[in-house]
Amino acid sequence: MALPPAHQSALSPHGAEAAGILDLTGVLVVGGAVVFLVVLVLVALALRAPRPRLARHWLVVAGGVVFPAVTLAALLAYSFAKDTRLPLVGRPDLAIELVGHQWWWQVRYLDANGALDFITANEIRIPAGAIVEVRLRSADVLHSFWVPALAGKLDLIPGRENRLRISAEAPGTFRGQCAEYCGGPHALMALFVVAEDSARFESWRESQRRPQAAAASGRGVALFGEHCASCHTVRGTPAAGERGPDLTHFASRISVGAGILPNDTASVARWVASGQHVKPGNLMPEFDALDAGGLEAVVAYLGSLR
Amino acid sequence: MSALPNPGPRPPGELEELKRIWAFPKRWRILTEYNNTFIGALYVATAFVFFLLAGVLGLVIRMQLAVPENDLVRPELYNQIFTMHGTVMMFLFAVPAVEAMGVLMLPNMLGARDLPFPRLSAYAYWAYLVGGLVFFCSIFAGLAPTGGWFMNPPLTSARYSPGLNEDMWLLGIGFIEISAIAGAVEIIVGVLRTRAPGMTLGRMPVFAWAMLTFAAMVVFAFPAVILATTLLELERAFTWPFFDATFGGDPLLWQHLFWFFGHPEVYIIFLPAAGMVSMMVPTMVRTPLVGYRLVVLALVATGFLSFGLWVHHMFTTGIPRLSLGFFAAASMAVSVPAGIQVFAWIATLSARRPRLTTPSLFVLGFLFIFVLGGLTGVMLAAVPFDFQAHDTYFVVAHLHYVLVGGMVFPLFGAIYYWIPALSRNALSERVGRWVFGLMFVGFNVAFFPMHITGLAGMPRRVHTYAAGYGWDMLNLVSTVGAFMFAAGVALFVVDFARRFRPAGGKAGNVWGAGTLEWLPSGPYSNRSIPIVDSHQPLWDDPELARNVEEGHYYLPGAPTGGREALVTAPLDGKPQYILRMPRPDWTPFVAAVFTAAFFLLLTGKFVVPAAACGVVAIGAMLAWAWALDPAPVAPVDIGGGITVPTYMSGPQSTSWWAVVVLMMVAASMYGAAVFSYLYLWTVAPRTWPDAASLPSLWYPVAAGALVVLASAAFSAAGRALKAGRRGWLMAALASAVVLLVAGVGVEIAAHHALSPRASGYAAMVHLFGAIAGFFAVVCALLTLFCIVRAASGQVDAVRRVTFDNARLFVHYTVAQTLLGLLLVHGFPRMVG
């Protein structure tokens, strides 16, 4: 199994902010290309034959002062018009707190009153067409939230909360990456944003709110409690660790390892037993001491967390 | 033409004596030589070696990124490699290279014998060589920094980067900072005070204007990064929480300080290269530069404007909209002066058909690449576009277009251009075309696709990337281009090794250029110092070279029997006095090696050996200083009926000017510290004390009174000096030291109850105390040195440069300390 196809390009926008920025990009590219060609043509002309009429002050003033001043003033005004980020007016349809960690994303859904609804990790699902406010905080170092198909980026800064509003025009799967160097496996700190129609989103949200049904006892549960519960939470079970991502409803997620491996048994096993080889330097130790049966049991348990 | 100052034949033996006085010492004693041609050539060569080393790191990066999910290089090592690639390129190659071109070329271009403080340049160079090489070797020990060249906390704080790697960066660039400041002092005073007579500011070569702007920018920009690195090191070593949000510090404080330096830094790198282009283009068309005044205005305007742009590196940090708007506007505005220069070059190229020599090809390549890079810069100034492009490969493309296009191409052109003045052979024109072709095509193949790669979603500073997102082929193409570019550089190195021969004569003015650096010269630069009355003296006076060689202009020999330079007035170059330079000795070299050792040992936390090296370095500097300020000798006749003194004190002395420049550096750093204090207050006002918990007002009153008395004591010392009363002079100086140190001690004691670890505020208060302490120690050293000089009869009413330097610096320190007292004790009472 592989990760699902996802959009991660600013050149093919699927969100309001990204679309506006692509319009601006088009103007900038065309304008820049025109200016560049004019300069090249002038130089080429000079190389071929002397042009005494150009070898004068007026060209320096016209090309170097007047032309840029006029064009840039217009460009500046246009670029301000395209900045739709601030101020944030009106209430968003959905608010989510995104807390950056080295090297994963904690996702905290808020209810209509702004209280905590439920916690998940490395994946954000939103209703298509809704305005979603993502409140960005950091638990450790600088990070940056960037889902290019939907919007530009905004940084996660310890001690501050930055707010970004995104909206997806239609259902789809979008990939984002941390865009502020955060050391170690910064390149492997990704996440998925999935936009769904409202009905599907509501049913997803309902199921995420429910605690995990109590699992049958078994080797997987026991091993999970012994090795994993100190860092990971599974609501509805005794596991309540907070150092790593919340694993409630883990099996409903697209990826493991923060957007880098698909969520199938082989990849999950790889992540658990040799995570340091997959994502060197990440803060989860390798559980290579588990025997093959134990590993299979833990992976099966994780696969049962629907 | 003006009448020749020394029209008759010169006495026999005068030229031989001049050659003997300026001859380089033999064998290993050549390490004591400070001549700008020697040091400048070594400097350029060393910078170029760092370019090659950092370039290899760049190739490793490209090999790792050639295919997705590659495992050629582990992430930890990759992070060291990209950090070192950026750090070495910016700090060990780019700034030193342009500074080195100034050291090498400016005196000849200005008609001067040497720089005004040549041993300072020698010191700066050797410290840079030793320190830079050891710093580079950290990568072989796995100790290279991993935080990116811009080193943002909290990632680079002790908590998230334990270990020595980031300390290596912080202390490792300490000597770069020293070299840059030393170079700035040298160049400002050199450009303003050692030009040939008649070379008014309006006739100065454009490269001299560019270097003057460069130096002024270094004076105001580098202190911000010096402060920032000091703060981060204090946080790492002693947990002073300047950047820790949980204690009222702020990670963004670092970004403001760093980018306040970082943005001017790139213009510091670009403007000298633009100056070099302005020297080469007129020669390409054998016509003076069109729009000289506009170009000079553009250089200076760029220098000013570049200080108002820094926040464009922080558009995605969540700053208010008003800020975004201001900095976007300023960032666009700076392209106006750049445009002026580009169109001035186009206009000049249009005057006559340019000759397409290798330097010309590099100039054309520069125009293509730099203009493209400047246009993508305008794109990035449009804030919403930056929201997508920031921290992606689009920016990697932009920065390489402006830096490689804007500096590396002009540098290669300049090397091809000026080599005939320095070597028996010029470089090969045939091979040069291949070098250019490979570099130009390779560069564009490597970096143009990155514009697309970035917008297609690939962030920066990543050791690998996922397959199937459209980045795979783009990255492979970039890697191929990088190797092509490297092949061009390698070909250049081979040709250079084959052809460059500094001994046995020079190839000469093969391009038919018109400026003074093309006069025949020796280690003493020109035989006699010409009178200049045009922009292109060699074009306007065909007899100039011969008359200079035959000694018909000023100072054809060495009347005081030692190395001399002619100091002239800043506006019109009128001769003012002879600057006597001591014979070469070991003190700058020893001081440099031990300065580098001090910083490197301190990085490894070997505190006692570091302190020992520091003491040796300071000792060497004192010994060096002892040879300065020689006793005045009789005024000399330089020709043309002009007799000038051989000693100058007061505001006309170059020494005074150097101290003034240093005061501006200090003031700039202090300004950054005041900014930091006020900024943290806006971020975390709750950590500021209320009036009741502040130290009693008696402390700052007492401290202030003591330091003001120290100034008064210095003024009294000045009066004693004038009156020739040596005993009173020494007593007054000694009291000044005691009063200053006591005053600063009172201020430090005022905060004994406050732990610097408690909050960002507390750390700031102690920082001001530490700064005051540091300056007090420097003043004490300067003053004690002065006392010893006075005791040995080497300071008197006439011979007083040593005294004046100390006096200036002490008065400055007192003023600075008073400002600090006002801030630390007054501000909280004002807002509390």
* Secondary structure (3-state) at B424: coil
Residue B4 CA to residue A145 CA, distance in Å, equals 71
Q: Is the pLDDT of residue B63 over 90?
A: yes
**Amino acid B168: pLDDT:** 93
Q: Across the interface, do A76 and B332 touch by the CB < 8 Å criterion?
A: yes
Residue A26 token pair: 């088009």
Is the whole model's pTM more than 0.95, yes or no? yes
Which residues, 6+ apart, have CB-to-CB distance to B658 below 8 Å?
Answer: B116, B117, B185, B189
Q: Across the interface, do A59 and B324 touch by the CB < 8 Å criterion?
A: no
Q: Across the interface, do B385 and A140 touch by the CB < 8 Å criterion?
A: no
| Alpha-carbon distance A175 to nearest alpha carbon in chain B (angstroms) | 9
B401, B373 in Cβ contact below 8 A? yes
A140: closest chain B residue by CA: B154
Residue A295 CA to residue A268 CA, distance in Å, equals 10
Q: Is the pLDDT of residue B754 over 80?
A: yes
Question: Rounded mean pLDDT of chain A?
Answer: 95
Residue B743 CA to residue B773 CA, distance in Å, equals 10
Residue B593 token pair: 């090696």
Among A17, A39, A133, A191, the strongest candidate for a mutation testing the B interface, having the largest count of B CBs within 10 A, is: A39
Using a CB-CB cut-off of 8 Å, the residues of chain A touching B320 are 86
Q: Is the pLDDT of residue B764 over 90?
A: yes
B644, B555 in Cβ contact below 8 A? no
The arithmetic mean of pLDDT across residues B540-544, rounded, is 94
**Amino acid B172: pLDDT:** 75
What does the H/E/C string look like for B643-673? EECCCCCHHHCHHHHHHHHHHHHHHHHHHHH
Q: Across the interface, do A157 and B344 touch by the CB < 8 Å criterion?
A: no
Q: Is the pLDDT of residue B1 over 60?
A: no
Q: Across the interface, do B390 and A79 touch by the CB < 8 Å criterion?
A: no
DSSP B4: P
Cβ-nearest to A9 among B75, B318, B457: B457
Checking DSSP bridges between strand B575-581 and strand B563-568, what pairing results, if any? Answer: antiparallel
Burial class, B570, CB count within 10 angstroms (exposed 0-12 / middle 13-18 / buried 19+): middle
Q: Across the interface, do A36 and B347 touch by the CB < 8 Å criterion?
A: no
A178: closest chain B residue by CA: B459
| Alpha-carbon distance B689 to nearest alpha carbon in chain A (angstroms) | 20
Q: Is the pLDDT of residue B328 over 90?
A: yes
Percentage of chain B beyond pLDDT 90 is 95
| Alpha-carbon distance A206 to nearest alpha carbon in chain B (angstroms) | 32
Which residues, 6+ apart, have CB-to-CB distance to B230 below 8 Å?
Answer: none
Taking CB atoms and an 8 Å cut-off, how many pairs form between chains A and B?
266
Model confidence at B49, pLDDT cuts 50, 70, 90, reads very high
Which residues, 6+ apart, have CB-to-CB distance to B543 below 8 Å?
Answer: B1
| Pick from B306, B221, B311: nearest CA to B270 | B306
Residue B736 CA to residue B717 CA, distance in Å, equals 9
Among A53, A66, A72, the strongest candidate for a mutation testing the B interface, having the largest count of B CBs within 10 A, is: A72
B375, B338 in Cβ contact below 8 A? no
**Amino acid B152: pLDDT:** 97
Using a CB-CB cut-off of 8 Å, the residues of chain B touching A82 are 382, 384
Cβ-nearest to B388 among A52, A152, A181: A152
Cβ-nearest to A10 among B294, B457, B466: B457
Where do we find the tokens 């080393």? B53
B354: closest chain A residue by CA: A47
Q: Across the interface, do B318 and A152 touch by the CB < 8 Å criterion?
A: no
Tell me, what amino acid is at A173? T
Residue B199 CA to residue B111 CA, distance in Å, equals 9
Using a CB-CB cut-off of 8 Å, the residues of chain A touching B351 are 50, 52, 55
Residue B208 CA to residue B107 CA, distance in Å, equals 10
Q: Is the pLDDT of residue B555 over 70?
A: yes
Alpha-carbon distance values, B81 to B59, B138, B180, B464, B690 (Å): 10, 11, 24, 13, 48
| Alpha-carbon distance B674 to nearest alpha carbon in chain A (angstroms) | 22
| Alpha-carbon distance A264 to nearest alpha carbon in chain B (angstroms) | 18
**Amino acid B174: pLDDT:** 82
**Amino acid B664: pLDDT:** 98
List, for residues A20-58, the tens digit of each pLDDT value.
999 999 999 999 999 999 999 999 999 999 999 999 999
List, for residues B371-416, the tens digit of each pLDDT value.
999 999 999 999 999 999 999 999 999 999 999 999 999 999 999 9
Rg (CA), chain B: 27
Using a CB-CB cut-off of 8 Å, the residues of chain A touching B329 are 76
Among B71, B85, B155, the strongest candidate for a mutation testing the A interface, having the largest count of A CBs within 10 A, is: B155
**Amino acid B485: pLDDT:** 98
**Amino acid B2: pLDDT:** 61
A35: closest chain B residue by CA: B375
B324: closest chain A residue by CA: A80
Using a CB-CB cut-off of 8 Å, the residues of chain B touching A61 are 294
Q: Across the interface, do B456 and A183 touch by the CB < 8 Å criterion?
A: no
Model confidence at B714, pLDDT cuts 50, 70, 90, reads very high
| Alpha-carbon distance B137 to nearest alpha carbon in chain A (angstroms) | 21
**Amino acid A86: pLDDT:** 74
**Amino acid A218: pLDDT:** 87
Residue B377 burial (CB count, 10 A): 22
A98, A105 in Cβ contact below 8 A? yes
pLDDT, averaged in runs of 10, over chain A (306 residues)? 93 96 97 96 93 92 95 94 83 96 98 96 97 97 98 97 96 98 98 97 97 82 94 95 96 96 96 96 93 94 93
> Measured at the alpha carbon of residue B257, what is the angle toward residues B256 and B259, in degrees to the nearest 5?
65
Cβ-nearest to B347 among A29, A54, A160: A54
| Alpha-carbon distance A74 to nearest alpha carbon in chain B (angstroms) | 11
**Residue A196, beta-bridge partner list:** A127
The arithmetic mean of pLDDT across residues B337-346, rounded, is 97
Percentage of chain B beyond pLDDT 70 is 100
B82-91, B171-180, B250-259: the lowest-pLDDT one: B171-180
Q: Across the interface, do A60 and B290 touch by the CB < 8 Å criterion?
A: yes
Question: Rounded mean pLDDT of chain B?
Answer: 96
B235, B242 in Cβ contact below 8 A? yes
Q: Is the pLDDT of residue B175 over 90?
A: no
Cβ-nearest to B291 among A57, A75, A85: A57
Where do we find the tokens 């074009």? B539
**Amino acid B393: pLDDT:** 98
